[in-house]
Structure 1
């Protein structure tokens, strides 16, 4: 704490007010960091899609090579493998009851499997090119829709293996889509023709009911939980569109440096109290970053870097598991530990089941043992803890400031050569209106220490605001002392050289900015 009035002793160490730009740790960032990421076993090829079962325990399916692998969400280990594909498998999708799973392939065939037995139940033939989109509606168990590189979207009756409707408005590869949470008869698809189209199978004309232009080849599209908004990914941007408003663009997030390959909706866990019902958009990109986007406030709230390009992402309905697939066949699975599953992990052993701990005898205030508890007794929930204050250790400059020996404190900080501490002491002396007096009373050697410090740190953005003003005052007040000492003249020459070099750097940066800014404006119009 700074002493604003003379005569008040300073009892706490000085701390720098000028802090470097850093990411503050927020409750939300702590939440996303609680997903302890661990890579699963490496598979043969890229992870083209990830999909969670809507039914507990929410196992997830990953498509890679000519295989669909189902992983346990509890152990993050493979449970079963489906290999009934003649070519690369794509876009696995669980039915609403979790009993069936459908997937496409580069051969153009869509297959439906029993998730438990892995037996193929239906083969849907109709696409002439690779199929990259297969989705079940949110609740409907009898239909699914698909899209492929033949630019055709089909709506299937799974039972009869026949397409009920066929949509041919796209002009390029259809690579993504999602079912509406508001109606099982509506779904949206995205294509490399830059267009996102909303379809309603109840419309007899087989034409889209809404169309928006993302501006880049569309890699992924999802409905947001309300059903009135959609999010699209393509190029280096994620865009939010208002479906009810006729396809109005609400926001464009361009925080990725390379193509955004996949997006999904994540939900803040129910154990977060007031944050319980907040949703986020999770996006991954070829730049190796996963970003969390709060579309209610239109800002990125968390970012995480991975060592390889990212192709797919999934988030479990129970908010406990997050999985990310990469181009080199690694799945980064993050499992969030809660009090409930930590207890189950400690109490379970192979073949023995959960081990129950013996109940502890609760001490009541009416018993004698209650008043004989020792210092090692752990507080129970609801107890009020009285903590012993920690003894504050003061550095040499803090002790001198406490004694109001300002010049000695200033010199002691300069000899320590810690720029944060020196600047903190300067700020304290400014608050006490003693800094200039200390400067005027410095001996020649001490003045050399100060000039050397100014030469080294004055051009650093973190300290420049204070130190450049102080350097000007030092030159005005101690001009005669500088002229009479060759050592001090050398410090001044070095300071001038540092300032001139910083000015040249800033001018070069402004020239570069002048060249790049028009190019960025032109690129933004395309």
Structure 2
């Protein structure tokens, strides 16, 4: 009679693995930014801004200078150091030719990027100026100061056009409207965000953020603005009187800066909790998270999301550049191509299939050497690093009803390892059911032999019994709590039902009828 060989099915370990993070298009897209290059500066990085024109240099404001970096070489291309005290908030004009920055000296300075010369100095503030921006028409400059005022300056005449002193604390955030040069947004440590109209010199809107405001920005439409402060990001609708549209709380420390990315479809926030989070603006949900080694103070991203620059509190700038697709790199490898664009062939290449690797415990399982298979997965390295392998084999042996045979043949050392594994994984939700079943088999096998255990194994067995007793007590308390919560929910539903009946005049014509209904319920 011919011998029939049946295929062996490997033990399924995947079902007990920890659930992996979902791989979305956003995760793939943002992971292509690549590994960071770290550059050290002399002070905390107060502000970062990218030039809107090629070659997309970025300005990092720190200490008493504004450093302009080349994102390709990651070195300083220009150094603007015309400050006596600390510089703040250096930003480019839309054409990339001018740069404006505030300072601890209470002055606002305008620079020519090419020559690094000071073109204008706007004096009038009495406190440090932390944020500066160009207006929509590019011929005026905005400044936000610790003297609790917002000023609008004319570049040509170097004169103050408008000033607003509505806040009662430092102003550390602001933004110009993307639609008109006459609308200004400011955020203050007095917890409020204010909207000004320069045509009438009036405050047109005030909203309360609830925390000191660290950053503000407009969405491209100009009708919605976003404020960040504390651990909250809030979205406000201007045309509905400052209606709160969304409140996002994903950070656990102060949010320091906001910026838009991906053609204004994504919002990025940086925080002192060392995270940069990316949100989908259509749902306000986090689509990706990037970790950094220290608290983040500033952040900016270039056109087409090619370069992300992040400034930290310890003076380190992290520069991440997007990895180019392989197809683009291949096109640049040589000057000439000798191979034709298309080669016709009738040959079929058959690749050699790799032999499937079988785990060591599966080899023993196939030979029906159950004790040896169990000993392999009880080794410290496997049981600690890959507990799903151990639990998968135990589950397979339970299914085959051979676990008692495997346990019965274990050495004293392996019995100790098995008891340690039971203790460690008893409370693991993925494994609890199988561990309980395996412990029952263990007790059935050694019920009359427990006194023969070594002192160490006897101690482990006693500890396991205590752990099981504690788990039972926890389960009882959880069941009691679940029952109490269910009772509260039931009561709430009854109350709601009664309330709905009382409000319906058609169903309840009189107060007497209401009482009857309540009694029936």
Aligning the two structures, in what range does the TM-score lie when normalised by the shorter sequence?
0.7 to 0.9
* Distance in 2 (alpha carbons) for counterparts of 1:503 and 1:407: 31
Q: TM-score scaled to structure 2, two decimals?
A: 0.78
* Distance in 2 (alpha carbons) for counterparts of 1:255 and 1:56: 34
Structure number with greater Rg is: 2
1:5-404 equivalent positions in 2, closer than 5 A = 9-20=7-18, 23-137=21-135, 139-202=136-199, 204=200, 206-267=201-262, 279-339=265-325, 343=329, 357-362=335-340, 364-365=342-343, 388-399=352-363, 401=365
* Distance in 2 (alpha carbons) for counterparts of 1:507 and 1:443: 31
* Distance in 1 (alpha carbons) for counterparts of 2:208 and 2:260: 22
Residue 364 to residue 263, structure 1, CA distance change in 2 (3 Å): closer
In the TM superposition, what is the alpha-carbon distance from 1:31 to its structure 2 partner?
A: 2.9
The range that moved more, 471-480 or 284-293, is 471-480
Contact 1:240/1:251 (8 A) holds in 2: yes
Contact 2:194/2:203 (8 A) holds in 1: yes
Contact 1:153/1:166 (8 A) holds in 2: yes
* Distance in 2 (alpha carbons) for counterparts of 1:344 and 1:189: 49
In the TM superposition, what is the alpha-carbon distance from 1:298 to its structure 2 partner?
A: 3.0
Contact 2:371/2:405 (8 A) holds in 1: no
SS at match of 1:461: coil
In the TM superposition, what is the alpha-carbon distance from 1:194 to its structure 2 partner?
A: 0.6
* Distance in 1 (alpha carbons) for counterparts of 2:331 and 2:450: 74
* Distance in 2 (alpha carbons) for counterparts of 1:250 and 1:503: 47
**2:374 matched to 1:411?**
yes
Residue 104 to residue 505, structure 1, CA distance change in 2 (3 Å): farther
Q: Which runs of 5+ in 2 are unaligned?
A: 478-521
The range that moved more, 127-136 or 176-185, is 176-185
* Counterpart in the other structure of 1:444: 408
Contact 1:455/1:491 (8 A) holds in 2: no
* Counterpart in the other structure of 1:461: 428
Contact 1:454/1:467 (8 A) holds in 2: no
* Distance in 2 (alpha carbons) for counterparts of 1:249 and 1:480: 66
In the TM superposition, what is the alpha-carbon distance from 1:76 to its structure 2 partner?
A: 2.0
In the TM superposition, what is the alpha-carbon distance from 1:242 to its structure 2 partner?
A: 3.1
Residue 323 to residue 400, structure 1, CA distance change in 2 (3 Å): same
Residue 231 to residue 21, structure 1, CA distance change in 2 (3 Å): farther
In the TM superposition, what is the alpha-carbon distance from 1:250 to its structure 2 partner?
A: 3.2
* Distance in 1 (alpha carbons) for counterparts of 2:189 and 2:435: 54
SS at match of 1:32: helix
Residue 35 to residue 507, structure 1, CA distance change in 2 (3 Å): farther
* Distance in 2 (alpha carbons) for counterparts of 1:341 and 1:125: 53
Q: Which runs of 5+ in 1 are unaligned?
A: 1-6, 268-276, 348-355, 376-385, 509-526
* Counterpart in the other structure of 2:390: 422
In the TM superposition, what is the alpha-carbon distance from 1:174 to its structure 2 partner?
A: 0.8
The range that moved more, 73-82 or 238-247, is 238-247
- What does the per-residue CA deviation read over 1:84-106, in whole Å, with 9 as the maximum and x for residues that have no partner? 22321111121111111111111
* Distance in 2 (alpha carbons) for counterparts of 1:243 and 1:447: 75
In the TM superposition, what is the alpha-carbon distance from 1:190 to its structure 2 partner?
A: 0.6
SS at match of 1:35: coil
* Counterpart in the other structure of 1:492: 461
In the TM superposition, what is the alpha-carbon distance from 1:307 to its structure 2 partner?
A: 2.6
Higher relative contact order (CA 8 A, sep 6+): 1
* Distance in 2 (alpha carbons) for counterparts of 1:505 and 1:233: 42
In the TM superposition, what is the alpha-carbon distance from 1:410 to its structure 2 partner?
A: 5.8
Residue 503 to residue 150, structure 1, CA distance change in 2 (3 Å): farther
* Distance in 1 (alpha carbons) for counterparts of 2:198 and 2:403: 81
- What does the per-residue CA deviation read over 1:314-361, in whole Å, with 9 as the maximum and x for residues that have no partner? 1112311111112222211111121489749976xxxxxxxx521223
Contact 2:39/2:318 (8 A) holds in 1: no
* Distance in 2 (alpha carbons) for counterparts of 1:163 and 1:340: 53
SS at match of 1:79: strand
- What does the per-residue CA deviation read over 1:340-394, in whole Å, with 9 as the maximum and x for residues that have no partner? 89749976xxxxxxxx52122316546xxx5689x7xxxxxxxxxx754332111
The range that moved more, 327-336 or 295-304, is 295-304
In the TM superposition, what is the alpha-carbon distance from 1:313 to its structure 2 partner?
A: 0.6
Q: TM-score scaled to structure 1, two decimals?
A: 0.77
In the TM superposition, what is the alpha-carbon distance from 1:67 to its structure 2 partner?
A: 1.2
CA RMSD of aligned residues (A): 3.6
The range that moved more, 331-340 or 144-153, is 331-340
In the TM superposition, what is the alpha-carbon distance from 1:500 to its structure 2 partner?
A: 5.4
* Distance in 1 (alpha carbons) for counterparts of 2:336 and 2:273: 52
